[in-house]
Amino acid sequence: MANLREISRRMSSIKSTMQITRTMEMISTARIRRALERAERAEPYKDAVTRMLANVASAGFDASQPLLAKHGEEKHVLFILIASDRGLAGGFNIAPQREVENQMKTLAKKGVKSSVITCGRKPTEYFTYRKMEPAMSFVGISSEPNMDEADRIASYVMQGYASGHIDRVELIYWHAKNRVDQTLVTEQLLPISKEQLMMPNKPRTPDALSTIEGQEYTDFAFDPSAEEVLGQLLPAYFRTVVFHALLDSAAAEHGARRRAMQSATDNANEVLSTLSRTYNRTRQGAITTELTEIIAGASALEEK
């Protein structure tokens, strides 16, 4: 009977866990819709800025501008890692964290310095625990990012690159393809080449800034010059890209957590089903043993 009590306790514990995972799955399902809508509402502005940037670059690309100049030797690489404040989302946090850590170790072997900006409590704690203090960190707002966070990141990146302190900037985050699937994206923010700016009609990859097609401004006269207009557009572009990545990551976080909680609920159901069969077999065995003992005792009394 002690074994039956143990199985019963385990079944009760699993049922309680299932209630939690099912509730978290329902919450994430409700939140992902709002997060996806927010990211979709921001998409037109981001595409418009990207289109304008690409079109102005076709009229005047000034490689002497600090944000367009490519540094001769790569000495310092900055990673912008966007993840989550909370766990229970499968590999949502651990996959990009390990990706950045491996890249930083590879760069260190080559004698290249690297640093990381962390967005989310989990990546901040991950790198702090490993004695890799983030250059900047943002916690508590992963599910509700704001423009102030994007402004601070973009300002730090632009100042560091323009001053020559940073030679390359990589943006790592999860892209929410839909409510179910997420894709890990690694995008190079800086340096930006003329070829990148002039390829807006190809799928968005590290070699192309946008999927938006645009009309070249080669027949337009700019006042001030196209080079100066491009210089004014670049800061707006960086802020917009970082902010949209934050929104995209927030939607991906809810999707990843919904899928993880659904998987946990399904696994709990399987374990509960197995324990139920084990409980029934053990109970039946105990009943059979008791009946056998009763019958044997009755037979012994009759023989006397």
Give me the CATH topology for the region 2-24+263-295: Helix Hairpins (1.10.287)
Contact predicate 134/118, CB 8 Å: yes
Q: What is the pLDDT of residue 2?
A: 52
Tell me the C-alpha distance between 24 and 256, whole Å. Answer: 12
Tell me the C-alpha distance between 261 and 21, whole Å. Answer: 5
Identify any residues that bridge with 113 across adjacent strands, giving them in sequence order. 76
Domain map of the chain by residue range?
2-24+263-295, 27-258
Q: What distance lies between CA 225 and its chain's CA centroid?
A: 39
The answer to whether domain 2-24+263-295 and domain 27-258 are alike in fold is: no
In a structure prediction context, what are the per-residue pLDDT tens digits for the chain, which is 304 residues long?
Answer: 458 888 888 888 888 888 888 888 888 888 888 888 888 888 888 878 877 777 777 666 666 677 878 888 889 999 999 999 988 888 899 999 999 999 999 999 999 999 999 999 999 999 999 999 999 999 988 888 888 999 999 999 999 998 889 999 999 999 988 877 888 999 888 888 666 665 544 444 444 444 445 455 555 676 777 777 777 888 888 999 899 999 999 999 988 888 888 888 888 888 888 888 888 888 887 788 877 877 777 777 776 6
Task: Please identify, in words, the CATH class of the domain defined by 27-258.
Answer: alpha beta
Q: Who's near 145: CB < 8 A, 6+ residues apart?
A: 119, 243, 246, 247, 249, 250
Q: Who's near 11: CB < 8 A, 6+ residues apart?
A: 272, 275, 276, 279
Residue type, 140: G
Phi/psi zone of residue 137: left (φ > 0), alpha (ψ -120 to 50 degrees), beta?
beta
Tell me the C-alpha distance between 172 and 74, whole Å. Answer: 19
Tokens of 176: 């929410």
Q: What is the pLDDT of residue 25?
A: 82
Closest Cα partner for 65 from 189, 226, 216?
Answer: 226
pTM of the predicted structure, to 2 decimals: 0.79
What separation in angstroms does the CA of 302 have from each of 78, 291, 293, 298? 90, 16, 14, 6
Tokens of 60: 């005047």
Q: What is the pLDDT of residue 57?
A: 72
